[in-house]
Amino acid sequence: MPSPDVVLITKADCHLCSAARDAVDRVTNNLGIGWREQPVDNDDELRERFAEEIPVVLVDGVQRDFWKIDEARLERTLRRALDRQG
């Protein structure tokens, strides 16, 4: 079964990004799904699109959270996505 596409948008020297990585990792590990990180440092389009909102979590291409990741909300979002795919 395919899982939701979870992407964490980050940038170098971002103090919030480390906590966001940990949060996304905890939630996705609990649900048994993967995620990937996309830094904006060498991507002008992403850097312009997300500017001051980094870190940002995208689920299936839709922005779901930014700055401080709400783990409970992310888990609910991912569970709904998994239910739709199942």
- Residue-wise pLDDT for 19-60, tens only, equals 999 999 999 999 999 999 999 999 999 999 998 899 999 999
* pTM passes above 0.85: yes
Assign 1 a pLDDT band (cuts: 50, 70, 90): low
Q: Is the dihedral of CA 35, 71, 39, 7 positive or negative?
A: positive
Could you tell me the domains of the chain? 6-85 (3.40.30.10)
For position 51, what pLDDT does the model report?
84
Taking CA atoms, 2 is separated from 32, 37, 48, in Å, by: 12, 18, 30
- Residues β-bridged to residue 37: 8
Mean pLDDT score of the chain: 94
